[in-house]
Structure 1
């Protein structure tokens, strides 16, 4: 049994998984975009009090000395600085982004089902990165970006605005190392353009899990699982599927505010059993379960979890409000 027990939410049907995952995403979005909201409100109240005092002074006719004028100029400058500070804070608030990373495969069907019928998603505030990518042209059925564009991005109603999307550099498909390095530069620009940070911190990372146990493009017993410093790793000669890929590293995935696995179907039941009951096997998801303990949740259908024993399945509590279109 895994020593770090994650939250496991099980649903009888695919639609239940999709609805709960969408709720998790919107909750994470709102949390990311509303940080320090109370502090801003308090500052606005203080600023309103300052403005009320100034207006009272302006409406009163009095005789003051030169020293008092200097003092009043000082107060006026202080108020001006306070207003400037509020403007900067409001600008910072308006520039907040929801930073999410997604993988491909069946997860895209879940996102299509769960997200496109909601009206509480602030798409224009999203920065979407990819947890991994196969080094194929975007028009290939194997391209995570290409399939995400087809199944999700192109279907976002124009009235909601468009997210910022960060695919790989398509001109680097023949060089996994250079492609990984280039995508790491994209991450650095998005997360550390002004500050030095050890790792990017996504608000949410969404992952699937393949029947062979690979997560993103991190394969069982592959050397990439031992990478401790790089943000993005090249994968050459992958043991299954497309041979050349790139992937976020384990440290980056485990540094996110929240990591959610989305797994459905009977074909996933054996590997899910191994992940949960035999962490000593060192499957990528088991490693992430351990290293990101307390920030992991699994959204599965009953078929995928059918072989696992001794795991407490929880009832998902919906927290985001949504009006259906």
Structure 2
């Protein structure tokens, strides 16, 4: 589990962008496309800053969501809405709206999860589990990743690729999320964090090895990269 400690937030974005660029190039070279999962939260501004600077053939990208809130696209809590505004509408990168595999809105979490799983299966026909080229993950202040929260029953989900959640401890309560079998079947996972407010949780995950959701990101035959700045990695060298 490579842990990369860099000077500051700008360097976190730079290193994350480097991993994205390298993974995209390898995937496009290998199978002519790049299948990547985005998360929201603190990752979104990292990508808004970093993606316009990378060298890649964006036309080969298909973007999925590691999780999504069941709110309208124009709601501030919409992860797709956030990327639509910062990446597509702004013209920051040449990505089109139809390159984002979106979650159905205006339906129950159960229906949205089933519909999204079926969409994902179109890209991975006849596979027991999808193999994403890269999943870009975040970590919340409670150690959650995707919408997989500490102590929640979804941590033990083994049969579904995409699961509904209606009791998220963090609002909004209704969401859909990739499950751990999917996350840990990816070729590469990357978790980027910056700031002192992340330091204690990063210690709990990476040093104390507590059984928190973010600590369970361990791709079976792939790599997980943790990219943190000195503030977030405060306790890692002690």
Answer yes or no: same fold by TM over 0.5.
yes
Residue among 222, 229, 232 paired with 1:301? 229
Match of 2:29 in 1: 34
2:4 is the counterpart of 1:13: no
Counterpart mapping for 1:126-145 below 5 A: 126-145=61-80
Structure 2 residue runs of 5 or longer lacking an equivalent are: none
CA shift, 1:170, in A, is 1.5
Match of 1:223 in 2: 153
CA shift, 1:182, in A, is 0.7
**TM-score using structure 1 length:** 0.69
Residue among 283, 307, 319 paired with 2:212? 283
2:100 is the counterpart of 1:165: yes
Cα RMSD, aligned residues only = 1.7
**TM-score using structure 2 length:** 0.94
Q: How many residues align?
A: 237
Cα distance in structure 1, aligned partners of 2:110 and 2:236: 38
Does the 8 A contact of 1:177 with 1:233 survive in 2?
Answer: yes
Quick check: which one's strand share is greater? Answer: 2
CA deviation profile, 1:76-126 (whole Å, cap 9, x unmatched): xxxxxxxxxxxxxxxxx6xx21000010011111111111133x2211110
Does the 8 A contact of 1:15 with 1:113 survive in 2?
Answer: no
Structure 1 residue runs of 5 or longer lacking an equivalent are: 1-5, 36-92, 311-325
Cα distance in structure 2, aligned partners of 1:191 and 1:294: 18
CA deviation profile, 1:105-162 (whole Å, cap 9, x unmatched): 11111111111133x221111000000001111111111111111122323457x463
Cα distance in structure 1, aligned partners of 2:128 and 2:220: 16
Residue among 87, 110, 120 paired with 2:46? 110
